[in-house]
């Protein structure tokens, strides 16, 4: 008997066609699947539409709905879930699912860089491979959240969109992909990375901003955030987690105002570490009370901090390098 897969459609390029007002998602999940009919060779598939939006307009409410519908699908007895999604924020929705899904089935996100009405659309092949992954015994045993794209399978906790427009859009910079696809099989390169959820699929109540650091960056963005009453800040630091002296002084003031601060990096790969002194150095920021994103991207750290602030009395405990 074939495995059963539920496809949850949310919009994005894979569902978009061009028009006078620009490309917009106009195609439902059933039509998307119709262009990838080969997927039915690997599984019995049902389709449900969760949303029809561009992923640059994705929000926590829709992300929560995706996970809720994945839970409902698992309760219905499906073996895996595939989510069709825009690429701009696919990694964020996949990471949110990794943090919040308690479903004992894999959730595999996929999409397209080329619309169905463009030459050589990549959506059908990506969707077929996502179904192949979600139906695979090793992923079904492991569960977890993943991204299937351009003949590769990535763990949600490792993947990022690395190119704006090429079909080889996604990478896992430090670990590489979990698996790759060829015509005959899914070739696993290391074990699927599934982690225990840290909370339920809630809509965070906390407000968290990302503040970038670069040459001569002043303290104004942090002062504005404090005045606006934010609950948390993720700093897009330089190198292994450093900022300008002006931002460093402002971070100290933010922490004094009970704003939780997590320091990440603008670097594409590698982990943050509190090493350097001086006003904006990572060790100084740690001594002020900042946490560190470790190997999370700043967009992942923002999601994690928003959930932590909304559910935990000690939100920085969610960040492993805090206090080290």
Is 10 among the residues known to form the active site?
A: no
* The one catalytic residue among 87, 244, 284, 321: 87
List of domains in the chain: 4-188 (3.40.50.1170), 208-318 (3.40.50.40)
* The one catalytic residue among 13, 110, 217, 244: 13
- 126 vs 132: CA distance, rounded Å: 10
Give the max Cα distance, the chain: 63
pLDDT of 256 higher than 80: yes
Is 284 among the residues known to form the active site?
A: no
- 192 vs 119: CA distance, rounded Å: 33
pLDDT of 54 higher than 90: yes
pLDDT of 195 higher than 80: no
Q: What pLDDT score does 149 carry?
A: 98
pLDDT of 227 higher than 80: yes
Structure tokens at 150: 């351009």
**Per-residue pLDDT tens digits for 297-316:** 999 999 999 999 999 999 99
DSSP 171: E
pTM for the model stands at: 0.96
**Per-residue pLDDT tens digits for 112-131:** 999 999 999 999 999 999 99
How many C-beta neighbours within 10 Å does residue 9 have? 25
Q: What pLDDT score does 321 carry?
A: 65
Q: Give residue 317's pLDDT band: very low, low, confident or very high (50, 70, 90).
A: very high
Q: What pLDDT score does 322 carry?
A: 58
């Amino acid at each position: 008997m074939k495995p059963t897969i539920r496809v949850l459609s949310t919009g994005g390029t894979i569902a978009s066609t061009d028009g006078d007002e620009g490309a917009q998602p106009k195609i439902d999940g059933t039509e998307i699947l119709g262009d990838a009919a080969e997927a039915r060779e690997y599984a019995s598939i049902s389709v449900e539409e969760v949303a029809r939006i561009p992923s640059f307009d994705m929000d926590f409410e829709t992300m929560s709905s995706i996970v809720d519908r994945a839970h409902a699908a698992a309760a219905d007895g499906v073996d895996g879930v595939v989510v069709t999604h825009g690429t701009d924020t696919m990694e964020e929705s996949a990471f949110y699912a990794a943090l919040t899904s308690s479903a004992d089935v894999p959730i595999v996100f996929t999409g397209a860089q080329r619309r169905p009405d463009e030459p050589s659309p990549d959506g059908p092949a990506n969707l077929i491979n996502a179904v192949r992954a979600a139906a695979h015994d090793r992923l079904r045993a492991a569960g977890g959240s993943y991204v299937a794209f351009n003949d590769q399978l990535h763990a949600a906790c490792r993947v990022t969109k690395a190119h704006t427009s090429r079909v080889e859009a996604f990478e896992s910079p430090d670990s590489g992909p979990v698996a790759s696809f060829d015509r005959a099989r899914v070739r696993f390169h290391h074990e699927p990375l599934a982690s225990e959820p840290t909370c339920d699929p809630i809509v965070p109540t906390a407000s968290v901003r990302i503040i970038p650091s670069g040459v001569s960056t002043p303290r104004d963005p942090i002062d504005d955030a404090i005045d606006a009453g934010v609950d948390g800040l993720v700093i897009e630091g330089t190198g292994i987690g450093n900022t300008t002296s002006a931002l460093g002084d402002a971070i100290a003031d933010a922490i004094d105002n009970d704003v939780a601060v997590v320091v990440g990096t603008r670097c594409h790969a590698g982990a943050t570490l509190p090493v350097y002194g001086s006003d904006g150095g990572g060790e100084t920021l740690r001594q002020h009370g900042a946490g560190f994103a470790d190997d999370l991207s700043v967009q992942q750290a923002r999601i994690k901090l928003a959930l932590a602030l909304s559910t935990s009395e000690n939100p920085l405990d969610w960040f492993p390098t805090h206090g080290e």
